[in-house]
């Protein structure tokens, strides 16, 4: 299998697609992004890196940051985290508040917004948001081997100005005692982590520890094999919000999407894949990114449900 040729072919096919989805208009800065873009990068377990399209164009990773935030939080408090956030698919939109009322302020999983806000509260750890964001940036730079990764301050400001539903989620959980720091500090952390800007190449490299059972490819351990597998499991079951089941059905590998149009997908033992196209489908996931991953999975046979993968 020629991954270079396959990657280039998928990028070319996506570049010619007519239906590109709709950009996230509720965050003003994201609404400005040109939807006529698509990038893909595949980092393989043997050290290969294959790119196509706009693989070097930066975008804010948005909810993909929740994977790295969860990794850090589990490193701080371990399984105690699961006393404050669940591990079940939500079946609702990523910013839904309805389940919190029924479940007494305990979010269903760490990848919906409410759950990620609890994770941000854990990572804040009594410090100011700049300290928590600095820690996350150092972690992502270490994973990707790239010190140029930064927060897009314009996007962070845009999210802070318009993030009323996230504010409601945080205040509601605070009323149940599930937010331990001042809400404005927690949300400052959350909005800035979502505004971290990366490109497909950097993101695919950053995801390699989940491909390699918790190991950093250049030596050392990021997380235990058990924890890496469990993070991958959550990505498969919860990584695409109320479309997680459909993504598992169509693509068959763990993945985490973001409303910036990116998706990080993991083939354990084989590949860490990043795709990006800013147009979203009705569930808030990248339309072309999902199609590209489906095509890639079909062409390679990569699937957690296939013994051949």
Instruction: Report the binding-site residues for substrate.
Output: 63, 113, 159, 166, 190, 241, 259
Residue among 63, 65, 174, 244 flagged as catalytic: 63
Q: How many CB atoms lie within 10 A of CB 290?
A: 26
Q: Edge-to-edge strand order for the sheet containing 196-198? A: 59-60, 196-198, 150-151
Residue among 151, 241, 267, 277 flagged as catalytic: 241
- 230's enclosing H/E stretch is helix 225-238
Residue among 33, 65, 66, 174 flagged as catalytic: 66
Residue among 259, 267, 277, 286 flagged as catalytic: 259
Residue entry with tokens 């010619």? 16
> Alpha carbon 34 to chain centroid distance?
21
Instruction: Verify whether residue 259 is a known catalytic residue.
Output: yes
> Alpha carbon 59 to chain centroid distance?
12
**Cβ atoms of residues 242 and 283 within 8 Å:** yes
Instruction: Verify whether residue 256 is a known catalytic residue.
Output: no
Positions at the binding site: 63, 113, 159, 166, 190, 241, 259
Structure token pair of residue 66 = 């929740």
DSSP secondary structure, 155-205, as one string: HHHHHHHH-HHHHHHHHHHHHTT---S-HHHHHHHHHHHHTEEE-HHHHHH
Structure token pair of residue 154 = 């314009």
Instruction: Verify whether residue 76 is a known catalytic residue.
Output: no
Instruction: Verify whether residue 33 is a known catalytic residue.
Output: no
Structure token pair of residue 160 = 């802070």
Residue among 118, 119, 174, 190 flagged as catalytic: 190
Which sequence positions are flagged as catalytic?
Answer: 63, 66, 190, 241, 259
């Amino acid at each position: 299998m020629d991954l270079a040729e396959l990657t280039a072919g998928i990028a070319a096919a996506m570049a010619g697609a007519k239906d590109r989805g709709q950009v996230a208009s509720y965050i003003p800065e994201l609404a400005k992004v040109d939807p006529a873009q698509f990038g893909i990068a595949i980092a393989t377990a043997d050290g290969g890196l294959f790119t196509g399209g706009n693989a070097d164009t930066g975008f804010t990773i948005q909810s993909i940051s929740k994977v790295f935030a969860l990794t850090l939080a589990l490193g701080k408090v371990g399984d105690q985290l699961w006393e404050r956030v669940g591990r079940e698919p939500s079946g609702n939109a990523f910013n839904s508040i309805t389940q919190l009322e029924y479940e007494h302020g305990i979010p269903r999983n760490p990848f919906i917004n409410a759950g990620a806000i609890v994770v941000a509260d854990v990572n804040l750890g009594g410090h100011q948001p700049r300290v928590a964001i600095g820690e996350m940036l150092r972690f992502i730079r270490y994973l990707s081997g790239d010190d140029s990764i930064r927060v897009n301050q314009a996007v962070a400001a845009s999210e802070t100005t318009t993030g009323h539903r996230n504010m409601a989620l945080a205040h509601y959980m605070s009323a149940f005692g599930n937010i331990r720091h001042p809400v404005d500090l927690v949300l400052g952390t959350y909005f800035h982590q979502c505004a971290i800007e990366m490109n497909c190449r950097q993101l695919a490299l950053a995801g390699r520890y989940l491909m390699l059972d918790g190991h950093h490819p250049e030596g050392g351990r990021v997380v235990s094999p058990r924890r890496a597998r469990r993070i991958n499991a959550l990505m498969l079951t919860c990584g695409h919000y109320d479309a997680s089941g459909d993504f598992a059905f169509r693509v068959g590998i763990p993945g985490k999407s973001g409303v910036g149009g990116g998706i990080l997908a993991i083939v354990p033992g084989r590949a860490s894949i990043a795709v990006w196209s800013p147009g979203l489908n009705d569930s808030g996931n990248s339309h072309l990114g999902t199609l590209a991953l489906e095509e890639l999975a079909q062409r390679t046979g990569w699937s957690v449900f296939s013994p051949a993968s």
